[in-house]
Amino acid sequence: MLDVESILSADRAHVWHPYTPMDEWRQHHAPLVVTRARGPHFELADGTELLDGNGSWWVSTLGHNHPRLVAALKAQIDRMCHVSLAGITHEPAALLARELAAVTPRGLDQVFYSDNGSTAIEAAVKMAVQFHAQTGKPKKTRFLALEGAFHGETIGATSLGGVTLFRQPFASVVFDCVHVPSPAGDDGSCAPMWGEAFDAVARVIEAEHESIAAMVVEPLVQGAAGMRMYPPAYLRAVRDLCTKHDVLLIVDEVFTGYGRLGTMWGCDLAEVVPDIMCVAKGYTGGVIPMAATVTSERVLAAFAGGRERAFLYGHSYCGNPLGAAVAREVLAIYREEGIVAGVAERAARIADFAHQLQLPIVRDARALGMIGAFELHDRSAGYTASIGWRVYREALARGAYLRPLGNVIYIAPALNIPLADLQRLLSIVEDSIRALG
Ligand SMILES: Cc1ncc(COP(=O)(O)O)c(C=O)c1O
């Protein structure tokens, strides 16, 4: 018999939770004790089943514990859990790189492995700086990113981050990154006019390109900023601008990749090929952490010519066989079960729902692919707004886990969520928002 009380007391005494005000939390709240996770649901210790509205921070693109992924992991565990990639290769890492290269945008066929979305970004940042240093432009060391950007937790990724609240505590230690206006617009909706945002970035790149190594963007959706969406035309225009001024374009597909927007990659919607692409989260379907930074032979070529010119970077778990075996199986499931094609019908349901949701409390409802976002009116808009947590509690009582982003309620469920479960999730969103009056 599971002793829920001793789990909670150990947690309360020792676990420091992410993005959590621990003092308030320990005094007034208790975490949900989850005992099982299957498909679009997870189950609490008391037997309550909850629909996972955000696929566990967007990783669970194929549903929890997909039987094929679990089987691939078990089979690999029996053969080999880990060896380093230092002068060594193995079947999972080698074949995964080939299979990934087959589905990434044209020309992106060189795969550098790491552990999670943040390290995929960290590798891209270092790659960009070293690339320019070794192609005769050592002054190109600064970065451009969007206001509201989120690229992860390491200091490099934090430096790129454009959410003031997350960046502020580390302002004294982050590196030089120019944050340009987001094409998504202040109200979080898909701004009809992205031209002003483009003019702003064009002014910076034209004036300062000699010191700029790369521009880093989340393609079409700024996730952590509150699911802010922007048009493909902006990304296309940025691609041309970067090419013209020898600024590398790094596209962060950690959230948008693996079909989230209805195409394999977010940048496919803009028909843009970046210089460097970062993938994580759905890459291993929420089973085990792993990531990749994918680039071209042109970028790799800058690292030729001697040991000191090698890319001086590598994590202990680079190319981990368990992660790689799971990531290969993810790609096999995508191929064999038509996961990306299956998004269209579900995406249409989410979009229809967002368009018909007309409530005075909803400031903006928007959708793209397997994302639906509902921005509520609130005086204290932003990540710390409490209104979203009121909806969260209403949703829990109705059978869904809908962790908000401040005043933005959103869903980003598994891509293969059964239609009936999706319909139920959307109904819970509506009822939970309505319950606020
Ligand atoms: C766009 C984007 N990039 C990077 C990251 C960081 O990924 P991880 O949490 O795996 O380090 C996230 C995390 O949410 C993200 O949304």
**pLDDT score at 407:** 93
144-185 pLDDT, tens digit each: 999 999 999 999 999 999 999 999 999 999 999 999 999 997
Considering the domain architecture, whether residues 99 and 221 belong to the same structural domain is answered as yes
CA distances for 408 relative to 209, 311, 411, angstroms: 35, 40, 10
Identify whether 164 is part of a domain: yes
The overall longest dimension of the chain from CA atoms, in Å, is: 67
* Residues 184, 408 contacting (CB under 8 angstroms): no
Considering the domain architecture, whether residues 127 and 263 belong to the same structural domain is answered as yes
Residue whose C-alpha is closest to residue 64's, from 37, 35, 44: 37
The tokens for 422 are 């999706």
Does 117 sit in the ligand 1 pocket, CB within 6 Å? yes
Considering the domain architecture, whether residues 296 and 328 belong to the same structural domain is answered as yes
CA distances for 122 relative to 159, 290, 331, 360, angstroms: 10, 14, 24, 42
Residue whose C-alpha is closest to residue 163's, from 131, 189, 188: 188
DSSP 378: -
Does 218 sit in the ligand 1 pocket, CB within 6 Å? yes
Does 118 sit in the ligand 1 pocket, CB within 6 Å? yes
- Last residue of one domain, picked from the residues 337, 372, 407: 337
**Matching residue, tokens 């995964």:** 96
**pLDDT score at 2:** 73
Domain that holds residue 380: 32-61+340-434
226 CA distance to ligand 1 middle (Å): 14
* Residues 419, 345 contacting (CB under 8 angstroms): yes
Considering the domain architecture, whether residues 252 and 161 belong to the same structural domain is answered as yes
Task: Give the residues across from 222 on adjacent strands.
Answer: 228
The residue whose CA has the least distance to atom 5 of ligand 1 is 152
Considering the domain architecture, whether residues 267 and 414 belong to the same structural domain is answered as no
Residue 415 sits in a domain whose CATH number is 3.90.1150.10
Identify whether 333 is part of a domain: yes
* Residues 425, 71 contacting (CB under 8 angstroms): no
CA distances for 316 relative to 83, 183, 279, 386, angstroms: 9, 38, 18, 40
153 CA distance to ligand 1 middle (Å): 8
> What angle, rounded to 10 degrees, do the helices at 67-79 and 321-337 form?
150
Does 251 sit in the ligand 1 pocket, CB within 6 Å? no
**pLDDT score at 66:** 98
pTM: 0.97
Q: What total of structural domains would you count in the chain?
A: 2
**pLDDT score at 190:** 57
**Is residue 356 within a helix (H) or strand (E), and if so which, with residue range?**
helix 343-356
Identify whether 136 is part of a domain: yes
238 CA distance to ligand 1 middle (Å): 22
| Residues in the chain where the model's pLDDT stays below 70 | 1, 186-192, 379, 381
The residue whose CA has the least distance to atom 14 of ligand 1 is 152
**CB-based contacts of 350, cutoff 8 Å, min separation 6:** 367, 370, 371, 372, 411, 422, 426
- Last residue of one domain, picked from the residues 284, 319, 337: 337
Alpha carbons 196 and 91: distance in angstroms, whole number:
49
User: What string of DSSP letters covers 136-191?
Assistant: T-TT--EEEEETT----SSHHHHHH---HHHHGGGTTT---EEEEPPTT-TTSS--
Residue 219 sits in a domain whose CATH number is 3.40.640.10
**pLDDT score at 418:** 98
Considering the domain architecture, whether residues 331 and 348 belong to the same structural domain is answered as no
